[in-house]
Structure 1
Amino acid sequence: MRVKAFQRIRSFLLVRLESISMTSKMQVFTQKRNPITGSTEWDVQHEDYDFHQEIARSAFADMLHDTERNKKYHRALQLAIEKMHEAGKKANVLDIGTGTGLLSIMAARCGADTITACEAFKPMAECCLKILQRNGVADKITVVPKRSTDMTVGEDGDMKEKANILVTEVFDTELIGEGALSTFSHAHEYLLEEDCIVVPDSAVIYAQVVECPTLQKWNKLNDLADEDLEVILRTPQKMKDCAGSAAVHDVQLSQLPRHAFTELSDQIPVFYYDWSGRSPIDMKRTVKQEFTVSNTGQAQIVFMWWELNMDPEGKICLSCAPWWAHPDADLSSDRPQDSIPWRDHWMQAVYYLPQEITVQKDSEVSLVSCQDEYSLWFYLEDEKTKRKHYKRPICECGVHMSISRTHVSYLNDGKRSKKLLAQLKEDLVADAVVLDLNGSSFLGLAAAKMGAKTVYIIENMNLNIGILNDYIKENDIQNAIVLPEVTDEVLEKITNVVCDPNFSCAILPWENLKVAYLLYRYRSKLKDFVPVIPESCEFWAMPVEFQDLHKIRIPLGMCEGIDMSIFDSLVESSRVISDAEMEAQPLWEYPCRCRGVPRKIIDIHFKDLKVTYACDGANPIVDSKSEGSHSVNGFAIWAVWIVGGKPISSGPVEWPVVGDRVNWDMHTRQAVKILKTSKIVSDSDKWSYQVACDLEKGQFNLNLDWVNEES
């Protein structure tokens, strides 16, 4: 499953108490942090909130919509069962991690003699039983609600005899991150016959060394420079030298602009995994491979992907490669990335090398690939850089522990920074006393270097404070003071307020309205007409047609001829209880088309904290120039910050044209509402929104939907 950061990490404290409702059902208080106010708040939730949240999170999303995956598993199963029967043996199938039972039902339809399906997640095991019943195969499949490593074989065991066919899908972006190595090892030792057939039979991990300044912005902080390229803040040396984090960065690499990286190597097969049992599985290993450098450049990053050989003969291959390395890509197409299967459960991985190395074309260097039971990491060596040990990289500078990769890339967005710095230079008065509302950015420190008398920075997270102090020391800043909270005495001195409008704790775009909330709190103590950067904020929304992203939410219905409506109902009912309608996504990775003129829905001016709601009404899906009907499967929402009278968009980087693909900002995430079903719309269809913003309480609520013409 995808590792990506788009799911919020929250701490839930559960307290049960009787509801006063007639049904006498229990309810749950969930404790969560309001990212705008920073305070802890209580929500009353369904008594089985955690239970339903777990179901919603384990929905397999686009995995079961992956037609190529489904068909190749089906064909490999068919061949395995036929091979057993041709050898005069029964085909006894074990399906590990069956989920909905899809692979087990396929095995039944292929003529397997016995099928045992194990599923440790009890709600899914119960759902699987109902799906088997609905599809008329309940009598052919035994469901064991256990982990495979807890199963037993014998007269009184979970299986009477060992299986001779194993089918399983226990892979993630890193291939082995979900415990595939231990799962296969245990199965071969305790659950499978010696001459069994395994689907898939084997796997290969590929790596490619590249120079990619674009993605390197997600890894290490650059010096902060103004529009004249003068360095305002130097990045501390400890941050430049830090090995970073070994945690995988999963990315839809096929959406990365081709000009954004330079290949320094061909694709290199670094690890081979034999799932069949013919050879032992190594839980830990290091492989060093020499290769010839294909282009001169700065080796910064390793791209990784893998492929599955579904059958022992290697005739059925399932590849997760990006388009330029994919065996089925149409390289003659204008958009070859659209010619390969789309997946969000198996993406490509990015690993940042602990140390950059300059390499010359045609020279020989070594890629060192390391693997433990659950993860991978990489080193690069030339004649000058040799290591005795290849331990997993650990962050020692604090940046990789306290700041998300998306926020690091935001801070490295030079175009945005230069606009903020230019306005800061213009606004600073003589003997300026500056208040910086965002300690997870460096605008306040920049003000200190640009001539402010004193700068007060609000920050209460210890890791962020440590980063600020490192910058203060590196840049010899004497006039910056970091405070967890600002006092009335300080507020009365302030001549300028600055706030880079992207907080490290914010996920959804409106969570950056912390700037407005803080200004509301402090406004009675601040002097009149104190200049504020940014000066205002707008939120925009538009209907879109996602090319693929909607697959993570839409129902399955029929999947490979198998009725999955029971699963759809289970997931949908759980989502209603546990999931918010809006979620954050980095839309540059997920192509979509604009299906309606963008609409400004709210405007907030920070000078007087005036909130202006755009006229709430019906908005046409398409403009007057468009003809015919179109498909809409979601809405996109983003913020625009006004600095010096000019917009800085955290959404489209250029004005969207109805019907065209949208070019999204790569350094922020946008809010998305995915519709349960795609809607075919025409000029007569309209959408509406309801928005409420309470600056005093730090609350923002938004709802988008179709206009009900009948009402």
Structure 2
Amino acid sequence: MSSGSTQRMFQLKLDSLTGKSEWVVVEGDDEDDGSSVDLATTSYLDMLNDTTRNKAYRQAIDNTVTRPCNVLDIGAGTGLLSMMAARALGSADSTVASDDKGRVVACESYLPMAKLMRKVVHSNGMSRKIHVINNRSDELKVGVDISTRADILVSEILDSELLGEGLIPTLQNAHDELLVENPDTVPYRAVTYGQLVESSFLWRLHDLYSNEICASDGIRLVPTERSSILSIEPQQYPMHCDPLQEELKLLSEPFKIFEFDFWKRPSSHGEAEILVEAATSGSVNAVLSWWVLQLDKEGTVFYSTAPKWIKLLQTEFPGNENWCDHWKQCVWFVPGKGLSVSKGENIQLLAVHSDISISYSLWAESQRNKKEHVIRKDDFQLTLSPEKIATYSDDKWRRYVSLALQNALHRKDSPLCFVLDDSIFLATAIAHLCKTSRVMLLFPGLRERGLQYLRATAETNQFSADRLKLLDHRLEYISIHETDGKKIDLLVGEPFYYGSETWLPWKNLRFWKERTRLEGILSKDAIVIPCKGILRVCAMSLPDLWKSRCSLTYIEGFNHSVANTILGACGNLPSPQEGPILPFFVWQSGESKELSERLTLMEFDFSKPMSSCSGKAKVKFTGTGICHGFVLWIDWVLSAENDSVVSTGPDHRQWKQGVKLLKTPVAVSSQDHMSSDDFHSVEMEANFDSANGDLMIQYVFV
């Protein structure tokens, strides 16, 4: 490669239909280099559309950068904070950055973002005022990468938990190696807060043991004697809690947990013992937490991620009144059924923070020595997502699936059954329901840990573990040799792939791809469950989500329009550009309203090998309002005989839906409320490409 050639880089690409990953080389100067695929699903765009955040940072930087100095921006993103600092230095009119006026160094470790930052900085005429470094901040050396230690640190390396993006190690290294003694910082301080709540919904997200006791299928994924064998990761989970407000029982007043000062070196470990009085009686199912930023030293600029019911009372820390998706509240699940408390009772809460996370334990004072709420840890544990635990806790879902399996298995004598995905429920149910079955497991994500779990729970579910066989999921072709000379009688999947929770719904059509490669070893009368997938659509009003995904123009005076394509902007795009379809929990996406009937757009027939397909539908509006886009999901038809259907639509909180946002919101109304200015229907067409798993949507308002 010649010295004048474009920069090249490696990116990891995932084929959702095969589950395989491969490193590919992309040209660093390409306008469409594939980075947009990665960055469109990040929170960058939403963060840059957060006007409250942007204004707060601008005010704090203006209050802090008031003299010639050296400024370091860590995790610089698009360079917004760096440009604010450079402008505050008074160097915006200079053609050359000079040491006597100070300088700004922008450090960004992620190469696609560093490339984008250079474009944004250049488009604002500030390339000579900001030194962009594509490196981790702990790899910077004074005298090599930067000339001197920085007087001021500006940063935005915060996640919903506060610490998850490595805030503490980053600050430690910065204070040790990159900053002057007693530097100024933006932000200046962060304080975390918590509140104890009762919630049946939050309880179902983690306590499968208690919830499946009432299940009617006789299957026990969590045996009585091994109540912690299946669990979620013990961590804080980001979640929009405002939609749960009417369902939550607030068991305490808000309480302060930790305080982190950015202007001094933080500790890697901290503990806080907090005495919390129960405001009312109930069961503590979760600790909700949020944080408040003090951005400037004087304490005049704040930003809060508190839920709405806190913000209404929190006059001393006015926070963001707008919905945003980049920062949410966090939920820490209290093990088991929760901690029973009485009104006025004292609860002891111990909060512990590490370099990257915060954890909690709590007990009522009357149980101080018992700590009855703590569940004994099993020697072996399998962890699943809270949404998957909630699915397995859903008695209706379990009944539908069990009925479909029973109907299929009663027709077969000693059937060979094949579990295509990572469903421990299906594997357990088949072995439990049919004592003569043999069960082949693909388990592409769980692998040996999934098999180990099934062996540990086999006795409880009354089957022999030697009827299970784990296959090599990496084989290009699975032959009849791998199935011990027998053809497959029953092919099943949820479909559920471990680690695929952030995918678009149709990415789980990997199930269809796997079914296709087994075509040669399916028996003539093989039963496939689910037998069909139905792509469903509904037009919706989603004003908060649409605003968060709008194309960027000027942010606090800095043009960001060059970032729109790579960040996956959807709203206010110039023709003929279209934004991507993105995965969201619609129930967590702010204000929403269904404006049309729910229609079938396309069907996927799993009884046949995978092929490209298409479908059309005319969606009629049933309400009056502003349409911001279309929500798409897949309903899985388990059995054609009894129309047993498992839906993943927007009223089912365990699954993300695909959201196609419009470039421009459209006023719509039903035909019963005729208006010459409103649209009454939309004609939609969907095309599925079996080669890459992509789904293309076209629409015309009528």
- 2:271 aligned to which of 286, 291, 311: 286
* Per-residue deviation, 1:322: 1.6
Equivalent residues in 2 for 1:37-186, closer than 5 Å: 40=20, 46-47=26-27, 60-81=44-65, 90=68, 93-110=71-88, 112=90, 114-121=102-109, 124-125=113-114, 127-128=116-117, 130-137=119-126, 141=130, 143=132, 147-149=136-138, 158-159=146-147, 162-163=150-151, 165-186=152-173
- Give the residue type in structure 2 aligned to 1:240: S
2:496 aligns with 502
Q: Is the contact made by 2:400 and 2:646 (CA closer than 8 Å) also made in structure 1?
A: no
2:233 aligns with 245
Q: What is the alpha-carbon distance in structure 1 between the residues aligned to residue 488 and residue 213 of structure 2?
A: 24
- Give the residue type in structure 2 aligned to 1:651: T
- Give the residue type in structure 2 aligned to 1:691: N
2:679 aligns with 683
2:656 aligns with 669
- 1:325 aligned to which of 310, 317, 324: 310
Q: Is the contact made by 2:43 and 2:325 (CA closer than 8 Å) also made in structure 1?
A: no
1:269 aligns with 256
- 1:406 aligned to which of 380, 387, 412: 387
SS in 2 for 1:231: coil
1:600 aligns with 600
SS in 2 for 1:417: helix
- 1:559 aligned to which of 545, 555, 574: 555
Kindly provide the CA deviation profile for residues 583-604 of structure 1, in whole angstroms up to 9, marking residues without a partner as x: 4333222244445544423334
Q: What is the alpha-carbon distance in structure 2 between the residues aligned to residue 58 and residue 421 of structure 1?
A: 37
Equivalent residues in 2 for 1:420-435, closer than 5 Å: 420-426=401-407, 428-429=409-410, 432-434=413-415, 435=417
Kindly provide the CA deviation profile for residues 490-536 of structure 1, in whole angstroms up to 9, marking residues without a partner as x: 79687666544434465443344455455556667656556554443
Q: What is the alpha-carbon distance in structure 1 between the residues aligned to residue 276 and residue 553 of structure 2?
A: 48
Q: Is the contact made by 1:546 and 1:633 (CA closer than 8 Å) also made in structure 2?
A: yes
2:351 aligns with 369
- 1:303 aligned to which of 285, 288, 291: 288
Structure 1 residues 106 and 445 mapped into 2: Cα distance closer, same or farther (>3 Å)?
closer
Structure 1's unaligned 5+ residue stretches are 1-15, 17-23, 331-337, 574-578, 653-662
Q: What is the alpha-carbon distance in structure 1 between the residues aligned to residue 438 and residue 172 of structure 2?
A: 59
Q: What is the alpha-carbon distance in structure 2 between the residues aligned to residue 487 and residue 348 of structure 1?
A: 51
2:632 aligns with 636
1:357 aligns with 339
Equivalent residues in 2 for 1:3-22, closer than 5 Å: none
1:335 aligns with none
Structure 2's unaligned 5+ residue stretches are 91-100, 472-478, 570-577, 669-677
2:698 aligns with 705
Structure 1 residues 171 and 59 mapped into 2: Cα distance closer, same or farther (>3 Å)?
closer
- 2:457 aligned to which of 451, 457, 471: 471
SS in 2 for 1:276: coil
Q: What is the alpha-carbon distance in structure 1 between the residues aligned to residue 468 and residue 629 of structure 2?
A: 45
Aligned Cα root-mean-square deviation (Å) = 4.6
Q: Is the contact made by 1:249 and 1:351 (CA closer than 8 Å) also made in structure 2?
A: yes
Task: Indicate whether 1:588 and 2:576 are aligned.
Answer: no
SS in 1 for 2:306: coil
Moved more, 315-324 or 493-502: 493-502
* Per-residue deviation, 1:270: 0.9
Equivalent residues in 2 for 1:387-406, closer than 5 Å: 397-400=380-383, 403-406=384-387
Kindly provide the CA deviation profile for residues 169-202 of structure 1, in whole angstroms up to 9, marking residues without a partner as x: 2211221222322433444455555565432221
Q: What is the alpha-carbon distance in structure 2 between the residues aligned to residue 77 and residue 414 of structure 1?
A: 53
* Per-residue deviation, 1:62: 0.9
* Per-residue deviation, 1:64: 1.0
Q: What is the alpha-carbon distance in structure 1 between the residues aligned to residue 37 and residue 215 of structure 2?
A: 50
* Per-residue deviation, 1:111: 5.7
Q: Is the contact made by 2:390 and 2:654 (CA closer than 8 Å) also made in structure 1?
A: yes
Moved more, 442-451 or 26-35: 26-35
Q: What is the alpha-carbon distance in structure 1 between the residues aligned to residue 559 and residue 460 of structure 2?
A: 62
- 2:425 aligned to which of 442, 445, 468: 442
- Give the residue type in structure 2 aligned to 1:705: Q
* Per-residue deviation, 1:558: 1.4
TM-score by structure 1 length? 0.76
- 2:643 aligned to which of 642, 646, 650: 646
2:324 aligns with 343
1:5 aligns with none
Q: Is the contact made by 2:188 and 2:296 (CA closer than 8 Å) also made in structure 1?
A: yes
Q: What is the alpha-carbon distance in structure 2 between the residues aligned to residue 492 and residue 700 of structure 1?
A: 30
* Per-residue deviation, 1:289: 1.5
Kindly provide the CA deviation profile for residues 103-143 of structure 1, in whole angstroms up to 9, marking residues without a partner as x: 23334544655342322346655654554454355565555
Kindly provide the CA deviation profile for residues 151-178 of structure 1, in whole angstroms up to 9, marking residues without a partner as x: 5668x98355752x43322211221222
- Give the residue type in structure 1 aligned to 2:559: D
SS in 2 for 1:651: coil
2:363 aligns with 381
Kindly provide the CA deviation profile for residues 236-295 of structure 1, in whole angstroms up to 9, marking residues without a partner as x: 343436775234322122233531x43333222110112233xx5222112221212233
Q: What is the alpha-carbon distance in structure 2 between the residues aligned to residue 141 and residue 30 of structure 1?
A: 27
2:536 aligns with 540
Structure 1 residues 436 and 218 mapped into 2: Cα distance closer, same or farther (>3 Å)?
farther
* Per-residue deviation, 1:412: 2.2
Structure 1 residues 462 and 675 mapped into 2: Cα distance closer, same or farther (>3 Å)?
farther
Kindly provide the CA deviation profile for residues 612-659 of structure 1, in whole angstroms up to 9, marking residues without a partner as x: 96754xx55643x666x844345523334254533534333xxxxxxx
Structure 1 residues 34 and 473 mapped into 2: Cα distance closer, same or farther (>3 Å)?
farther
SS in 1 for 2:458: helix
Aligned residues: percent identity? 24
* Per-residue deviation, 1:37: 5.3
Structure 1 residues 344 and 418 mapped into 2: Cα distance closer, same or farther (>3 Å)?
same
Structure 1 residues 602 and 396 mapped into 2: Cα distance closer, same or farther (>3 Å)?
farther
SS in 1 for 2:322: coil
Q: Is the contact made by 2:230 and 2:382 (CA closer than 8 Å) also made in structure 1?
A: no
* Per-residue deviation, 1:222: 3.6
- Give the residue type in structure 1 aligned to 2:226: K
* Per-residue deviation, 1:349: 1.6
Q: What is the alpha-carbon distance in structure 2 between the residues aligned to residue 626 and residue 477 of structure 1?
A: 52
TM-score by structure 2 length? 0.77
SS in 2 for 1:235: coil
Moved more, 367-376 or 457-466: 457-466
Q: What is the alpha-carbon distance in structure 1 between the residues aligned to residue 8 and residue 62 of structure 2?
A: 48
SS in 1 for 2:275: strand
Report the number of matched residues: 643
SS in 2 for 1:233: coil
Kindly provide the CA deviation profile for residues 288-341 of structure 1, in whole angstroms up to 9, marking residues without a partner as x: 2121223333333222211101233433221101222224789xxxxxxx9932
Q: What is the alpha-carbon distance in structure 1 between the residues aligned to residue 548 and residue 378 of structure 2?
A: 32
Q: Is the contact made by 2:487 and 2:521 (CA closer than 8 Å) also made in structure 1?
A: no
